[in-house]
Structure 1
Amino acid sequence: MRAFVAEKTDDDVTRGVRDDFELEGADGVVVDVEYSSVNYKDGLATIAKGQVARISPLVPGIDLAGRTADGQAVLAHGYGLGVSQHGGYAEQARVPSEWLVPLPDGLSARQAMAIGTAGYTAARCVMALEAAGLAPGAGPVLVTGASGGVGSTAVDILAARGYEVVASSGKDPAWLKALGASEVISREEAAGDASRPLEKTRWAGAVDCVGGAVLAGVVRALSYGGAVAACGNTGGVKLEATVLPFILRGVSLLGVDSVQTPIEARRETWARLATDLRPPHLDEAITREVGLDGLEDALSAVLRGELQGRTVVRVAV
């Protein structure tokens, strides 16, 4: 079958499309893949310094949507997909049955991958904030890294639910405002003044896709009782902060993981992504569609931070 494969050499990784790749093993459900998507983690899985791939050769693609042999429409993402076992960048994938999510009514395979791992993570962030007590009308909600897949979907979902959304991005503000952002600020403004343990309260809540200095700045500017759902680290893994926002303002830092979510919670989240958490600009979120032959350029672009919105991968011909 055709597959996009990354394989380690002595000190590098070769990657590209192979026409004769064999799907090995007998465990799991065989899925005829229709669509996948491009995520930052997929890019890391194809470079020597990415520290993501656990096997070689590897078919990347941390999410996929397609059909089983009996015709059931399914999707899968997270766990070891595209990391420790072959993922969505191939015409077929073998997926453990306990990882599969029935494709919800109202979503096509293409739309499911327009949401993909990124949109799923955004939904989990929104759910975490609302479980922590955030409600529309509480004040501005900041979304950092807003032009990426997670951030742009978070903007779309939050705005549709009635929140005042402020987006932090260095890219096209018009696009983010079309998704519902009331204002677009720079990453530097979101990071604020690192020399201060506390800053003027500004955010009722936040979705942080960046980490590092930006996340620290968000925490310093949260309103009393506010919360930030943290899900990314493109800006660094270190968090240089004090305890003052937590003990003087009672703020919360909510970690959001999309890889190991228990399957029942995963299926519930996808059911909501097809209903009350469905991004209203779902089709417009797809800013690029590529086939397997276009993955080389798309993966390089995502690593350079050049992609905006969602890039879906059309696997089935």
Structure 2
Amino acid sequence: MTTFRAFVTEKVGEKEYSSSIQNKNITDLPEGDVLVKVAYSSLNYKDALSALGKPGVTKNYPHTPGIDAAGVVVSSNTSDFKEGDEVIVTSYDLGMNTWGGFSEYIQVPSGWVIPKPAGISLKESMKMGTAGLTAAMSVYKLVDKVAPADGNILVTGATGGVGSIAIAILNKLGYSVITVTGKADKVAYLKSIGAVEVLSREEFLEGNQRPLLKPKFAGVIDTVGGEFLATAIKSTNPLGVVTCCGNASSFDLPINVFPFILRGVSLIGIDSQNFPRAERIVVWENIAKDWLPNTLDEITEEVDLDGLKAKIDTIIKGQLSGRILVKL
């Protein structure tokens, strides 16, 4: 019987959780159409919440987090995949209430599995992961409506995984990117991955109580929500496009209708968890063909399962920049 290692979080008290690396058997895995030997995963904020037992992500413990996985098919009950296929599995319920990617094997429904496109390695796909896919989804919704010649693109939450990769993709596609960050010590990092200007939070939010602000941005990729998203919308050019994919600042949106009815600004939500599979395949193909950032190595740090705990603490404290690749 095949045994393997997995990162397991257990409930040990009323509000107390503990994580450890445990040996598991294939028979421990949930039912699924496709068995995958995982080569790489990545660490996302949702994974950290799940590993710490925070409410709203995972309901039942013991649990193996990890909303990302890339690896090789071991067996499949469907004709869509065969042994030896290299595949990517991200989001849906992976690592939330279903056994996740912080494990040397996963077993999942075939509808969650994406064939890895040529032009990208398994390792590169997980350097991107859900954060990179979310960034690419945001770019995908932006590029058809906003061209590089139309003006600057704003990226908020710039030092996070989604923000960092969005900057890098936009830069590669020829866009001029302005960012917002509360971390003064990360200005050099943001410019190294493609930002032409870095605004402080105070500078960006100045005067944001007004119903409209001076138009500055042809498009926006917002990752934090709240007053940052509202300010970005008020500062968007006529017929500009704003994408929204996060709520780290707040899930409330203190906005009025003027940017929409006086400037024709479009607000597009990005749901990376349930993004349609057909479009998901297109976005991965775009990443593999033209969108893979040149600065991906600068954005990414690699750890193994044993190094996860320390990085989980770092991401919860808001001290993480870029991406964490998990090598299985």
CA shift, 1:245, in A, is 1.0
Relative to structure 2, which stretch is displaced further, 211-220 or 163-172? 163-172
> How far apart, CA to CA, are the structure 2 residues paired with 1:50 and 1:185?
33
3-state SS of paired residue (2:89): strand
> How far apart, CA to CA, are the structure 2 residues paired with 1:210 and 1:35?
27
> How far apart, CA to CA, are the structure 2 residues paired with 1:98 and 1:62?
15
Contact kept? 1:2, 1:17, Cα under 8 Å: no
> Which has the larger strand fraction?
2
In structure 2, the partner of 1:197 is 211
Superposition misfits of 4+ residues, deviation over 4 angstroms: none
Task: In structure 2, give the amino acid aligned to 1:7.
Answer: E
CA shift digits 1:113-147 (9 cap, x unpaired): 1011011101110111123x111111111000111
In structure 1, the partner of 2:158 is 146
Task: In structure 1, give the amino acid aligned to 2:66.
Answer: G
Task: In structure 1, give the amino acid aligned to 2:122.
Answer: A
Which residue, 237, 240, 245 being the options, matches 1:223? 237
> How far apart, CA to CA, are the structure 2 residues paired with 1:30 and 1:77?
15
Alignment of 1:180-191 (within 5 A): 180-191=194-205
1:44 aligns with 2:49: yes
CA shift, 1:49, in A, is 3.1
CA shift, 1:10, in A, is 4.3
In structure 2, the partner of 1:62 is 67
Contact kept? 2:32, 2:110, Cα under 8 Å: no
TM-score, reference length from structure 2 = 0.92
Which residue, 119, 129, 145 being the options, matches 2:132? 119
Structure 1 residues without counterparts, runs of 5 or longer? none
Contact kept? 1:60, 1:82, Cα under 8 Å: yes
3-state SS of paired residue (2:18): strand
Structure 2 residues without counterparts, runs of 5 or longer? 75-82
In structure 2, the partner of 1:278 is 292
CA shift, 1:148, in A, is 0.8
Which residue, 181, 186, 193 being the options, matches 1:169? 181
For the structure 1 residues 57 and 41, does the alpha-carbon distance in structure 2 shift closer, same or farther, using more than 3 Å as the test? Answer: same
For the structure 1 residues 191 and 7, does the alpha-carbon distance in structure 2 shift closer, same or farther, using more than 3 Å as the test? Answer: farther
| Count of matched residue positions in the alignment of Structure 1 and Structure 2 | 313
> How far apart, CA to CA, are the structure 1 residues paired with 2:16 and 2:56?
12
3-state SS of paired residue (2:92): coil
Across the aligned residues of Structure 1 and Structure 2, the Cα RMSD in angstroms comes to: 1.4
In structure 2, the partner of 1:16 is 19
3-state SS of paired residue (2:219): strand
CA shift digits 1:214-251 (9 cap, x unpaired): 10110111111111110111111011111111111111
> How far apart, CA to CA, are the structure 2 residues paired with 1:141 and 1:27?
41
For the structure 1 residues 230 and 192, does the alpha-carbon distance in structure 2 shift closer, same or farther, using more than 3 Å as the test? Answer: farther
Relative to structure 2, which stretch is displaced further, 121-130 or 182-191? 182-191
> How far apart, CA to CA, are the structure 1 residues paired with 2:140 and 2:31?
37
CA shift, 1:8, in A, is 2.9
> How far apart, CA to CA, are the structure 2 residues paired with 1:204 and 1:80?
34
3-state SS of paired residue (2:291): coil
> How far apart, CA to CA, are the structure 1 residues paired with 2:50 and 2:272?
17
TM-score, reference length from structure 1 = 0.95
Contact kept? 1:144, 1:187, Cα under 8 Å: no
Contact kept? 1:62, 1:82, Cα under 8 Å: yes
CA shift digits 1:156-176 (9 cap, x unpaired): 111111111001113311111
Task: In structure 2, give the amino acid aligned to 1:236.
Answer: S
Relative to structure 2, which stretch is displaced further, 19-28 or 221-230? 19-28
